[in-house]
Chains A and B, each alone.
Chain A
Amino acid sequence: MSGDTDETTVTDFEADLAALEAKVEALQRGTVTLDAALRTFEEGVALYRRCSAALRTAEQRVAKLVEGQDGLEEVPLAAD
Chain B
Amino acid sequence: MSFRTAAALAIEGPAPEGPHVLTVSELCARLREVVRGQPQPVLVRGEVRDLSRAPSGHAYFTLRDEGAQLACVLFRADADGLASPLRDGLSIVVHANLDFYPGRGQPQLLVRTLRPHGIGELWLAFEATRAALAREGLLDPARKRALPRFPRRIGLVTSEAGAAIHDVLHVLRRRYPLARVLLSPAAVQGDGAPVSLVEAIERLHACGGMDVILLARGGGSAEDLWAFNDETLARAIAASRVPVVAAVGHETDVTIAGLVADVRAPTPSAAAELAVPDVAELERRFASHASTLVREIAARLRDLQQRTDVRGAALVPATLTARIAGSRHGLHAARAGLLAVRQRLQRHRQALESALARLDALSPLATLRRGFAIAVRGERVVASVAGVAAGDPLLVLLQDGDVECRVTRTKRR
Cα–Cα, bound, A13→B152 (Å): 10
Min Cβ gap A50→B in Å is 9
Residues of B within 8 A of A (CB): 149-150, 152-153, 160, 166, 169, 172-173, 177-185, 203-204, 206-209, 277, 279, 282-283, 285-287, 289-290, 292-294, 296-297, 300, 304, 320, 323-324, 326-327, 330-331, 333-334, 337-338, 340-341
A-B contact pairs, 17 of them (CB 8 A): A12-B150, A13-B149, A13-B150, A14-B149, A23-B289, A41-B327, A41-B330, A48-B286, A48-B337, A52-B283, A52-B290, A55-B283, A62-B182, A63-B180, A63-B181, A63-B183, A65-B185
A55 touches B178 (CB 8 A): yes
B320 touches A34 (CB 8 A): yes
Q: Name the interface residues of A1-30: CB closer than 8 Å to any CB of B.
A: 1, 7, 10-14, 17, 20-21, 23-24, 27-28, 30
B326 touches A42 (CB 8 A): yes
With A35-B320, A37-B300, A65-B182 already in contact, 11 other A-B pairs whose C-beta atoms are closer than 8 Å: A20-B290, A38-B297, A39-B323, A44-B293, A48-B290, A52-B286, A54-B178, A55-B178, A62-B181, A62-B183, A72-B206
A60 within 8 A of B: yes
B286 touches A62 (CB 8 A): no
Query: 4 closest Cβ contacts across the A-B interface?
Result: A27-B296, A48-B290, A60-B177, A60-B173
Partner among A34, A44, A61 whose Cβ is within 8 Å of the Cβ of B181: A61
**Known contacts A24-B296, A27-B293, A48-B287; A72 and B181 CB within 8 A of each other:** no
Residues of B within 8 A of A56 (CB): 283, 340-341
Partner among B209, B286, B292, B341 whose Cβ is within 8 Å of the Cβ of A7: B209
A42 touches B330 (CB 8 A): yes
A80 touches B166 (CB 8 A): yes
Min Cβ gap A55→B in Å is 5
A17 touches B285 (CB 8 A): yes
Cα–Cα, bound, A57→B160 (Å): 27
Q: How many A-B residue pairs have CB under 8 A?
A: 149
CB-CB nearest in chain B for A64: B183
Residues of B within 8 A of A14 (CB): 149-150
**Known contacts A45-B293, A48-B334, A60-B181; A1 and B207 CB within 8 A of each other:** yes
A65 touches B184 (CB 8 A): yes
B149 touches A45 (CB 8 A): no
CB-CB nearest in chain A for B280: A55
Min Cβ gap B355→A in Å is 12
B286 touches A51 (CB 8 A): yes
CB-CB nearest in chain A for B149: A14
Residues of A within 8 A of B324 (CB): 38
Cα–Cα, bound, A15→B182 (Å): 24
Partner among A10, A24, A38, A55 whose Cβ is within 8 Å of the Cβ of B289: A24
Cα–Cα, bound, A11→B176 (Å): 13
CB-CB nearest in chain B for A27: B296
A10 touches B169 (CB 8 A): no
Partner among B173, B177, B206, B289 whose Cβ is within 8 Å of the Cβ of A48: B289
Residues of A within 8 A of B173 (CB): 60, 79
CB-CB nearest in chain A for B208: A1
B287 touches A52 (CB 8 A): yes
CB-CB nearest in chain A for B209: A7
A45 touches B172 (CB 8 A): no
Residues of A within 8 A of B340 (CB): 56
Min Cβ gap A15→B in Å is 9
